[in-house]
Amino acid sequence: MPVQNPVVIGVDSSTQSTKAAVVDSVTGALLAVGRAPHTVTGTDGARESDPEQWWSALREAVGRGLKESGVPAGDVVGIAVAGQQHGLVVLDAAGNPLRAALLWNDTRSAPQAAALTEALGGPGAWLERAGSVPVAAMTAAKWEWLRAREPATAAAAAGVRLPHDFLTERLAGVAATDPGDASGTCWYSTADHAYDPGLLDLLGLDPALLPAVAATGATRVGTLTPAAAHALGLPESVAVAAGTGDNMAAAVGLGLGEGGLLDHPVVSLGTSGTVFAATRTRPAAPSLAGFAAADGTYLPLGCTLNCTQAVDRFARLLGLDREDAVPGDGVVVLPYLDGERTPDLPHATGLLTGLRHTTAPGAILGAAYEGAAFTVLRALDELLTACGQDPADPAVADRPLRLVGGGARGRVWRDTVRRLSGRSLVVPAETELVALGAAALAAGAAGGGDPVALADAWGTGRGTVLPALPRDLGTWDRIAAVLDGAGPFMRPSAG
């Protein structure tokens, strides 16, 4: 008998926490969000988490979301996971993790990334095949690090997964991924839409260890296993979608794919800063990740490691509230506290310059905002250029940016992005875009149609329009001059 009030669950398993959005699959109404935290460990470039913690957090978040929503378990028809990208999970034959997962922001694999780039013949060869050049964040570099540093663990691996793959397998009992998240490994070819045998050979990676790649993130890969159904308190009939990476899910939640690149550039301000846009062409540039999208198109993306978390660290060091910032007043901060991915400076440290006796603490904090925002916005310029657009062309520069992520809720972040970009902003009313995108994928797997069109109909990407501010080219040029001339200050020995 058909469910009268079909509901889907979209899971956002991020670096710091899991969120489970309970969503009306017809209207897109967000009925409740359950939450559970994660723990990240590591120092000196190491960033790791226990994958079992993600599974426990998923169960906890789903339970809390269902309880808060009051939705009967029998009304749930689909579930999908969107996970943090690039993390390396190695499993034994029983599907249990052999070690903690290496996360996207673990920079220890920078030497392996450089060696891989050289081994294939340089960045151009990687762009042609994988669509992206290896950097420390990419899964291929992490696998190489594991082979070099923990060869016994690599040799014992019976399965190699991304974070969202691991959780999807726990739900459905099948090893499955999607083109979007797979494209962040650097062993998947966005040109051929399949794992690249030559790259797998280069990595010494047996394709039998990898999950099958579904057609799209909304592909139904099965239903809940009896064990998963019992753990979640849901019927075994609940459809499980292939799911995707967090950035791809955010694009679905914004309804990207229905329009063109120029209409939908997105700036996301979270632990990392990202810029991305939907396109049906396959751009390739060394500074970008040439990802596939969850719907089978493309999602070129630029990513920075240091965004809201780095700026919050400056606020704590200065003893200020994050909203106490004022414009930098000649101070320049490059807040590269975790190294940096874009630009590719994995061993960088933070840099502060331009201090005077009259410099106020709020100006130092404001300069940290400016440095982080500049880095993200310059990555956006590189993305547009790679897609054949001139960032200086008024027809391009006057289009609004969609601002998402936790930083989009902060006044100083919004004002800094407007001031440095000279663009107006659209700030979506919905904050859980990754979870909502996953919910749309779940609805698609449950028979609800195209998830991008569905999210567009739900209206999850609509929001407040903030007018442009005059562009502060003085601050922009000052930061650019410091970054481009920083030399050894930004490239200390890796030790």
Residues in the chain: 495
Q: Which of 24, 75, 165, 246 is catalytic?
A: 246
Phi, psi of 265 (to 5 degrees): -70, 135
Tokens of 25: 């699959």
Instruction: Look up residue 211 and give its DSSP letter.
Output: P
The C-alpha atoms of residue 470 and residue 419 are separated, in whole angstroms, by 6
- Nearest Cα to 405, choosing from 377, 431, 429? 431
- Cα separation, 402 vs 251, whole angstroms: 11
Closest CA to 426 of 456, 373, 463: 463
Start-to-end CA distance of the chain, whole Å, equals 64
Could you tell me which of 337, 272, 235 has the C-alpha nearest to residue 137? 272
My answer on whether omega of the bond before 335 falls inside 30° of 0, hence cis, is no
Q: Are 80 and 243 in contact (CB under 8 A)?
A: yes
Measured between alpha carbons, how far is 368 from 353 in angstroms, rounded to an integer? 11
Per-residue tokens: 362 = 């709020």
DSSP label of 103: P
User: Which tokens is 307 given?
Assistant: 């965004």
246 is catalytic: yes
d(CA 438, CA 403): 19
- Residues with a known catalytic role: 246
